[in-house]
Copies of this chain bind each other. A is one copy, B any other.
Amino acid sequence: MAWNTNLRWRLPLTCLLLQGAMVILFGVFVRYDFQADAHWWTGRVRRNLSDQENEFYYRYPSFEDVHVMVFVGFGFLMTFLQRYGFSAVGFNFLLAAFGIQWALLMQGWFHSFQDSHILVGVENLINADFCVASVCVAFGAVLGKVSPIQLLIMTFFQVTLFAVNEFILLNLLQVKDAGGSMTIHTFGAYFGLTVTRILYRRNLEQSKERESSVYQSDLFAMIGTLFLWMYWPSFNSAISYHGDSQHRAAINTYCSLAACVLTSVATSSALHKKGKLDMVHIQNATLAGGVAVGTAAEMMLMPYGSLIVGFLCGIFSTLGFVYLTPFLESRLQIQDTCGINNLHGIPGIIGGIVGAVTAASASPEVYGEEGLVHSFDFQGSKANWTPRTQGKFQIYGLLVTLGMALMGGIIVGLILRLPFWGQPSDENCFEDAVYWEIPKGNNTVYIPEDPTFKPSASSVPSVSMTSPLPMASSVPLVP
């Protein structure tokens, strides 16, 4: 069936309604926290603080790095599709811009609510970006198959569930999850995979030709990959305790990511009959190491521990792209456009387990007496906790997260299945022209055989002519 994809009234109304609600809710609830309020000038004197000691200077650089990961990192990583670049970067922009506002409210009610107001500072901005990152992850699963309206609705519900799940983990179960292996990646991935399962499209192969990359779209995607890779140490350390925890989180992530690159390349080459590399693996599997040290990054995982995590995840992730993704689609009817199960799902679970084991095996020898207490807050309500207890609760946290993701994904998936959200028909998926006015003079191309390339023994190419796969829609719109 060809659904109506004309969003002329639906999209504007959805955006204005949501944004209007944000204005009202912010007006009622959101204020500046102590360090961002002009009364600081009064307070700082009383509290004998200098302006230089403002939290801003210890969190803001990390915040900006995380901000870049969410908007350029995820946005461009998804531009790999040949005819879906506008939507990848544009819809990611849209959902993230809405998501951070809604996240400020949801997380604020749970964590920064004081005498009937949500007090926001730079740390809230980081957490809002974190929350949205999990939506960007889920976006990867449904990329090309949903309308911007569906994305806004998904964002609304996912942010809500994220905040609840985060509250259960951090406040009730009191687990540690600095880089969000569980709260961000595992939750985002399995929420998204469940949604895409519910939205299963039987005749998607009608759009299969468009569900692949072209040369330049792969280069654009590498911009996303590299900014995610380079700033991941900031991501995993952004909200750790000041001092050694934050410092350590950055080092561990740096190491894990480095190891991950080499094993991804190794696996990618080993799985190709001519030993050639596949851009999909380089764009995605190389990042799995960052996901997998998310929970343990701030712990005494040790640099070699990080290398081991990265080493394994590079292999698992690449194997996932080659064997698991096709299996999920053919057998479980899970159409995972970006393969988020391999980049965020499995590495996220590994990260949760690594975190639990690292916590359980913590000892005063390794952390120092005070260090142990400080690192895991073994005081107050946790005074009688042992590393073992911590490890146990970390596992509970992982299980709760999986449960929340599946349950939430089913409900939200069913809502998104309603036929009036402007979703594209099966033959028009992965197509910018459905929602965007595409410039007429696009780079659609015909593929001649290269006269200059002389294949050497080991790389005999098929010279079969293939039908043109344009970089962009070649459908000029009526002016």
Is A386 positioned at the interface, with any CB of B under 8 Å from its CB? Answer: no
- Determine whether the beta carbon of B72 is less than 8 Å from that of A230: yes
Chain B residues contacting A428 (CB-CB under 8 Å) are: 453-456, 459
Chain B residues contacting A40 (CB-CB under 8 Å) are: 243-244, 371
Cβ < 8 Å to B, chain A residues 204-235: 206-207, 209-210, 212-220, 222-223, 226-227, 229-231, 233-234
- Determine whether the beta carbon of A311 is less than 8 Å from that of B19: yes
Bound-state CA distance A307–B22 (Å) is 8
Chain B residues contacting A76 (CB-CB under 8 Å) are: 223
Complex A-B, nearest 9 residue pairs according to Cβ-Cβ distance, in ascending order: A441-B469, A8-B275, A51-B243, A215-B472, A38-B371, A6-B458, A97-B261, A15-B266, A40-B244
Task: From A125, A471, A473, name the one whose CB has the most chain B CB atoms within 10 angstroms.
Answer: A471
Bound-state CA distance A272–B478 (Å) is 11
Is A420 positioned at the interface, with any CB of B under 8 Å from its CB? Answer: no
Is A18 positioned at the interface, with any CB of B under 8 Å from its CB? Answer: yes
Is A242 positioned at the interface, with any CB of B under 8 Å from its CB? Answer: yes
Decide yes or no: A275 and B6 within 8 Å by CB, A97-B262, A226-B75 being known contacts. yes
- Determine whether the beta carbon of A214 is less than 8 Å from that of B443: yes
Is A284 positioned at the interface, with any CB of B under 8 Å from its CB? Answer: no
Bound-state CA distance A3–B457 (Å) is 7
- Determine whether the beta carbon of B279 is less than 8 Å from that of A52: no
Supply 10 A–B pairs (Cβ within 8 Å), ascending by A: A38-B367, A39-B367, A51-B242, A52-B53, A82-B439, A93-B229, A215-B442, A427-B452, A434-B459, A440-B447
Interface stretch of the complex, out of A159-167, A174-182, A251-259, A344-352: A251-259
Chain B residues contacting A371 (CB-CB under 8 Å) are: 37-42
Is A470 positioned at the interface, with any CB of B under 8 Å from its CB? Answer: yes
CB distance from A47 to the nearest CB of B (A): 12
Chain B residues contacting A242 (CB-CB under 8 Å) are: 51-52, 54
Chain B residues contacting A439 (CB-CB under 8 Å) are: 82, 212-215, 217-218, 279, 469
- Determine whether the beta carbon of B38 is less than 8 Å from that of A276: no
Is A449 positioned at the interface, with any CB of B under 8 Å from its CB? Answer: yes
Closest B residue to A99 by beta carbon equals B258
- Determine whether the beta carbon of B229 is less than 8 Å from that of A71: yes
Is A327 positioned at the interface, with any CB of B under 8 Å from its CB? Answer: no
Having A12-B270, A90-B282, one finds 17 other A-B pairs with CB under 8 Å, namely: A5-B456, A26-B255, A38-B375, A39-B367, A39-B368, A68-B230, A71-B230, A76-B223, A85-B219, A86-B219, A90-B279, A93-B282, A214-B441, A424-B456, A433-B453, A444-B446, A448-B474
Is A467 positioned at the interface, with any CB of B under 8 Å from its CB? Answer: yes
Binary contact track A79-91/B, C-beta < 8 Å → 1, others 0: 1001001100110
Is A385 positioned at the interface, with any CB of B under 8 Å from its CB? Answer: no
Is A115 positioned at the interface, with any CB of B under 8 Å from its CB? Answer: no
Decide yes or no: A56 and B311 within 8 Å by CB, A8-B275, A64-B234, A470-B450 being known contacts. no
Number of this chain's copies in the assembly equals 3
- Determine whether the beta carbon of B215 is less than 8 Å from that of A438: yes
Is A366 positioned at the interface, with any CB of B under 8 Å from its CB? Answer: yes
Is A274 positioned at the interface, with any CB of B under 8 Å from its CB? Answer: yes
Bound-state CA distance A57–B303 (Å) is 20
Bound-state CA distance A250–B231 (Å) is 20
CB distance from A96 to the nearest CB of B (A): 8
Closest B residue to A97 by beta carbon equals B261
Closest B residue to A35 by beta carbon equals B247
Chain B residues contacting A269 (CB-CB under 8 Å) are: 7-8, 11-12, 15
Is A463 positioned at the interface, with any CB of B under 8 Å from its CB? Answer: yes
Is A372 positioned at the interface, with any CB of B under 8 Å from its CB? Answer: yes
Chain B residues contacting A16 (CB-CB under 8 Å) are: 262-263, 266
- Determine whether the beta carbon of A440 is less than 8 Å from that of B469: yes
Is A248 positioned at the interface, with any CB of B under 8 Å from its CB? Answer: yes
Closest B residue to A4 by beta carbon equals B458
Chain B residues contacting A438 (CB-CB under 8 Å) are: 215
Bound-state CA distance A464–B476 (Å) is 7
- Determine whether the beta carbon of B304 is less than 8 Å from that of A437: no
- Determine whether the beta carbon of B214 is less than 8 Å from that of A216: no
Task: From A231, A277, A428, name the one whose CB has the most chain B CB atoms within 10 angstroms.
Answer: A277
- Determine whether the beta carbon of B475 is less than 8 Å from that of A449: yes
